[in-house]
Structure formats: structure tokens, C-alpha cells
Structure 1
């Protein structure tokens, strides 16, 4: 009987020991899984941030036959407590032409290319995207200003001079996009552009149906979380961050949040997040090309926080 009791006691203690080992191993495994899943590529996202899905929430009825999140014109207005502040973000591409003849050598294709390359930006309320093919050099123009629409009306140019930025654009193919992300649930006034054709050779600039709209919209996650997750998704597609040629700087309208250059084989991708001062709004610039020089030229031309600004 004593031997049997001792055997039973030994088996019971062995069972307890194995149970403790199993619990410890399981806990360590869960901790390791959380580290690997929540922090891919060494990104510092906590569990709450990781579980948040970044998406645009529109709290008001959208007008019929409009697509919020794609093309809009160059003005976006935030309405808060009776005041209205507008960001005017005007950019253009001009082929070199003889004024007595039609433009030649450039085509712009009105495609929402971020979807094609799995680079869709969450929470975008709209912007402008296109693919440009230039067989000759051209020029870019970019001018930005903040406008207080309430009396007395006042306009603040984003950088010294107030005449905009003119730069040379080299020949080549580039995918170009500017998009805007609302960071607070407030009212926005903007004009949705619906393309009437898929391309232009710059002979006709009247290629959109314009629909002014007013809506309440915001993003479901903080901008810091969105930036981290978007950068992670870029790297997951094989892009690697490479050295940036410039030092982003703050100006009267914009503050840099994240500015990075990526490379994947022969492809280069420039991504710039800039906070619009005085507005609950972030401007995002993306340029993609197989020519590093083309990416740099377009980024310099249309950056809100570049050293040219």
C-alpha cells in the first residue's frame, strides 16, 4: 500500500509539473506570435493600433453619381464652428510647345493607379492621380495657399514669393498622385471631378464633370497608425527604403510627418505625408517610376515640404 501511494503521488506531481511546462510554453508561444504579427518589419504598433482598421467614414449622405475618394479639384475647405479655411493646392504639367501649334510629345492617362499597384491609401477623401508619359522635357507648376474664407478674407502663401514653383520635368514615364486624408470628424467642402475620357494629349483641359459636395468624413484610426501600416504594406510588396536625397522642411502651410524613398529592383517610389497647418487634413504625395531621376524631378516639383519649398 505504501508503494502504491508513493507511485500515485509521483504520478500526480509529474502531471502537475508537465501541466506547468505546457502553460509556460503556450504563453511564450502566444507572446512570440503577438510580436511577429503585431510588429512586422520592426514596426512599433501596439495591439489596439494593430486591430484598428483604417477606413474613411462618411457621416452624411453622398450626392448621386459621385465617387468620393478619387479625383477632386484643387480646393478643399474645412468648416468648423462657422469658420471656413481652404487649402488651395494647385499643380500642373506643361509640355514645351510652340504657341502656334498643338502640344506634342506628352500624354496623361487618368487612371487610379494606386489600385493597380496595391498602393491604395486608406481614408483618402480624394485628390488627383494620373500616369504621365513625356517623350520630351516639360515644365511643372505648383502653388499652395491657405485661405480664410470668413470675413475679412485672408490668403497665406505657403512659401516666400507667392508666385508658385516652376521646375523642369525630364522625359519619361511617371505615376503621380496627390491625396488628402481627413483626421477629424468635421465638415468638408470640395468638388468631385468625374473624368469624361481616360486620357489627354493636353489639347483639351476640359475633361471633367464638376460636382460640388459637402460632407462629414473622418478616418477611423490616428494618422500615425495609418502611416506606419501603409509603410509596412509597401515593404511587404518587396520595396526597401533607400536614402532620401533631400531634407524635408516645415513652411507656413505644411509640416512633414513622413517622407521616404523606396526601391524595388528598377522601380522607385516616393511617399510624402504632410500635415496641413490649421486644418484636420494630411496631404499625401506619391510618385512611382522606373527612372530614379524622374521620381526625384516629380517629387521636387510637387513636394509640399521639400527643400525647394
Structure 2
């Protein structure tokens, strides 16, 4: 998909009409959930935050942005007939891929085992991000579940969001890789504010201590502001929910981890919506430009 492609549905809408459509659509807060190391529970966090936000009355969309090894649909026991691979091949639009998850959570599935999707060019990443402007469903929040690491795909999706949540667990490799990711985001992509979520920790005190360990090193060597979003405790019910292909917030809503996800979602709900475009590649940038014009 090319950002200049004239076959994009939005390109066939007269400019004035497109502006009127955008005026009726509020800005979307885009939150990227990522990690330096795989296996820290990042996708579980994305899924359960999305479900918790939907249950609270928000209108969230979850994008599976692990483009070559997608598994959000598998975690929810859903079957995707169309994926982002079909969108990139021009076989369908983004709206045609959306699956309905618990509480009305929308899910944009990616493909698994398709190497070319994990190796998209920078121009293809730009085209994919811009294509989200065609989605016309009620929407106020989008969660982007990336792959782990510091690939161009991960960095671009983080840069195109208003907020970045880095998931870290209490393992030396997880901490080291989280720091490396934050460093690259700051120095190469200008991301200077990061939320840290500590996952599968033994207590709130352990979660806070883990965050402070990462923050001390970042404060010393990086020009980036870290904020502590919170923690998810180690919970046997979370493992059981994964085996059942259900979010723990649905399968075991009274469990410690489900309560933690609802609390985290409540904090995210209180974040202010984006006020204006920042002047670089962003999801739903047309809505922010329009909202800024109306505010002026």
C-alpha cells in the first residue's frame, strides 16, 4: 500500500465532503503497547485493557501490529477471514477486517507466518497508518499491540501514537531490553514520554520498585520522562484464562489481575484526548487537525 495510492477509498471523496465527514468524528487517542523483550505478557495486557475499556463504555479498537506473528485473534478464540495482509494486497479495506470481541471491542487482526508483512518498507508503514482514516465506526481509543524489540515497525507505530506503554517484568533481560527500546525511541524517533507497566509482579511494592529501577537509569542517561502506569500481579487465573482463549477480565472478573486491568483502564480513561496534531506521522491525523481548527 502506498500513501500516494489513488485507489484508496478516501481519495475518491471530494475534499469538501471529506472535511464534513471528519468534522463529525472526534479525535482518537492512540496508545501503543510494546516491550523490549518478548514473553512479558504484552499482548495479554493489550487485550485485557481493550476489553476493560469497552466494558467501561469506551469505544476502543485493538490493532494487532505484530504483523508477522499475530496472535490477538487466537488469544480471543476468534477466526479472522480477512487480515492486514489482505489490506496491504488491496483485497479489502481496513473496515472489512474488523472482528467483534468482548463488550464490543473492535479488533483489526494481522497475519501470522507471512514474512513479507514483518518486512514492510517505511512507505508501506506510512500507507497503513494513513489508511486508518477510512474507518468510520464510533471510536475514541485505539490500542496498538506491537511486536517486541526495536524493529522499524515497532518504532514507527510508537512514534505514530500519542502514548507509549512499555511492559516490563522482573527479569534482567526484560529490564535491559526495555531500557534499550526507550533509548532508541527517544534518540531516533523523538518519543520523550513513556508509560511503564510492570507485569506479573508479586506485590504493588515490587511493581513500584521495578519501575524505579528502570527510571533511575533512564533519568541518568536519557532525555525522556517515564511515568508509572501501574502493575498487574502474578495470577494463576490469568494463565487459566489464556488456556481458555478468553481475557481474564471476562473469564475471571473477580481475579486479582482482572481487578488490576480495570484499575489501569480507569487511569487511561482519565487521560485527556489529543488536542492537536504534532506535525509528524500519526494515526487519525485528519481528525486532530479538524478538531484543532474547530477549537480555534
TM-score by length of 1: 0.21
Higher helix share: 2
- Which one has a larger percent strand, Structure 1 or Structure 2? 1
Which structure has the larger Rg over C-alpha atoms? Answer: 1
Q: TM-score, normalised by structure 2?
A: 0.22
